[in-house]
Chain A
Amino acid sequence: MMPDELISALFPQGHTISPGAENTFSGQARVAGKTVEVLGIADSTPLGPETALVLAGRVLEIVRLRSGAPIVFLIDTASQRMTRRDEMLGLNEYLAHLAKSITLAGVSGHRTVSVLYGTAAAGAFIATALSTQTMVAVDGAHPSVMDLPSIARVTKLPLDVLTEKAKETPVFAPGVAPLAATGAVSEVWKISDRQCAERLAALLAEGGQDDADHRDVLGASRGGRKMAADVARRVEAAFTHDATVSEAR
Chain B
Amino acid sequence: MIPKNVMSEPSWYESSARARIEGLLDSGSFEEILPPQSRVMSPHLALFDLPPAFDDGMIVGRGQIDGCPVAVAAQEGQFMGGTFAEVSGAKLVGLLRGVAHSAGTRQGVGAVLLLLDTGGVRLQEANAGEMAVSETIRAIIDVRRAGVPVIALIGGRAGAFGGGGLVTACCSHVVISEQGRISVSGPEVIETNKGVEEFDSRDRALVWRVTGGRSRVLLGGADSYVKGDVGSFRKAAAQARNSTPSFSLETLEREQERLTERLKLYGSCHDTPEIWRIAGLPEPEGIADMTEDDFMSLLAKEGLHHDAR
Residues in chain A within 8 A of chain B (CB atoms): 49-50, 53, 56-57, 60, 63-64, 79-80, 82-85, 87-97, 99-101, 103-104, 107-108, 122-123, 125-127, 130-131, 145-146, 150-151, 153-155, 157, 165, 168-173, 178-179, 181-184, 211, 213, 215-216, 219, 224-243, 246, 248-249
Contact, CB under 8 Å: A93 / B169: yes
Interchain CA distance A123-B121 in the complex, whole Å: 10
Q: How far is the CB of B93 from chain A (nearest CB, A)?
A: 5
* CB < 8 Å neighbour of A60 from B166, B183, B256, B271: B256
Chain B residues with Cβ under 8 A from A237's Cβ? 98
Q: Which of B3-11, B12-20, B233-241, B247-255 lies at the binding interface?
A: B247-255
Interface centre among A126, A211, A213, A229 (most CB of B within 10 A): A126
Contact, CB under 8 Å: B210 / A96: no
Contact, CB under 8 Å: B131 / A183: yes
Contact, CB under 8 Å: A130 / B134: yes
Chain A residues with Cβ under 8 A from B160's Cβ? 92
Interchain CA distance A110-B2 in the complex, whole Å: 49
Contact, CB under 8 Å: A246 / B137: no
Interchain CA distance A85-B211 in the complex, whole Å: 11
* CB < 8 Å neighbour of B130 from A85, A97, A125, A165: A125
Q: Is B182 an interface residue (CB 8 A)?
A: yes
Residues in chain B within 8 A of chain A (CB atoms): 31-35, 38, 40, 43-44, 47-48, 60-62, 71, 86-87, 89-91, 93-95, 97-99, 101-102, 105-107, 121, 123-135, 137-139, 141-142, 145, 160, 162-163, 165-170, 182-185, 189-190, 192-194, 198-199, 209-211, 215-216, 219-221, 247, 249, 252-253, 255-256, 259-260, 262-263, 266-267, 269-272, 275, 309
Chain B residues with Cβ under 8 A from A79's Cβ? 185
Contact, CB under 8 Å: B33 / A96: no
Q: How far is the CB of A215 from chain B (nearest CB, A)?
A: 6
Contact, CB under 8 Å: A99 / B166: yes
Interchain CA distance A224-B121 in the complex, whole Å: 17
Interchain CA distance A153-B191 in the complex, whole Å: 13
Contact, CB under 8 Å: B90 / A228: yes
Q: How far is the CB of B44 from chain A (nearest CB, A)?
A: 6
A171/B101 contact (C-beta < 8 A), A53-B259, A60-B249, A228-B87 known: no
A227/B90 contact (C-beta < 8 A), A82-B193, A145-B130 known: yes
A96/B71 contact (C-beta < 8 A), A90-B220, A239-B95 known: no
Chain A residues with Cβ under 8 A from B263's Cβ? 49-50, 53, 89
Contact, CB under 8 Å: B262 / A232: no
Contact, CB under 8 Å: B269 / A88: yes
Chain B residues with Cβ under 8 A from A183's Cβ? 131
Interchain CA distance A172-B122 in the complex, whole Å: 9
Contact, CB under 8 Å: B168 / A92: yes
Chain A residues with Cβ under 8 A from B121's Cβ? 122, 145-146
Q: Given A96-B170, A169-B44, A172-B44, 10 more contacts at CB 8 Å?
A: A49-B259, A83-B190, A88-B210, A93-B259, A122-B185, A165-B48, A171-B86, A216-B135, A228-B131, A232-B93
Contact, CB under 8 Å: A89 / B266: yes
Q: Which residue of A lies closest to B183 (CB)?
A: A87
A184/B131 contact (C-beta < 8 A), A82-B190, A104-B247, A234-B94 known: yes
Q: How far is the CB of B151 from chain A (nearest CB, A)?
A: 15
* CB < 8 Å neighbour of A123 from B91, B141, B163: B163
Contact, CB under 8 Å: A93 / B309: yes
Contact, CB under 8 Å: B170 / A99: yes
A87/B98 contact (C-beta < 8 A), A93-B221, A165-B47 known: no
Contact, CB under 8 Å: B249 / A239: no
Contact, CB under 8 Å: A53 / B256: yes
Interchain CA distance A226-B44 in the complex, whole Å: 11
Chain A residues with Cβ under 8 A from B194's Cβ? 82-83
Contact, CB under 8 Å: B133 / A215: no
A228/B86 contact (C-beta < 8 A), A57-B256, A89-B266, A211-B142 known: yes
Contact, CB under 8 Å: A179 / B127: yes
Q: How far is the CB of B68 from chain A (nearest CB, A)?
A: 15
Q: Which residue of B lies closest to A48 (CB)?
A: B263
Contact, CB under 8 Å: A104 / B131: no
A154/B210 contact (C-beta < 8 A), A60-B249, A84-B190, A171-B86 known: no
Contact, CB under 8 Å: B134 / A145: no
Q: Which residue of A lies closest to B137 (CB)?
A: A99
Contact sample, A vs B, 15 pairs, CB 8 Å cutoff: A64-B253, A84-B198, A91-B183, A92-B169, A92-B183, A96-B165, A101-B252, A130-B134, A168-B47, A215-B131, A224-B128, A228-B89, A235-B94, A238-B98, A240-B101
Chain A residues with Cβ under 8 A from B249's Cβ? 60, 63-64, 104, 108
Interchain CA distance A82-B48 in the complex, whole Å: 28
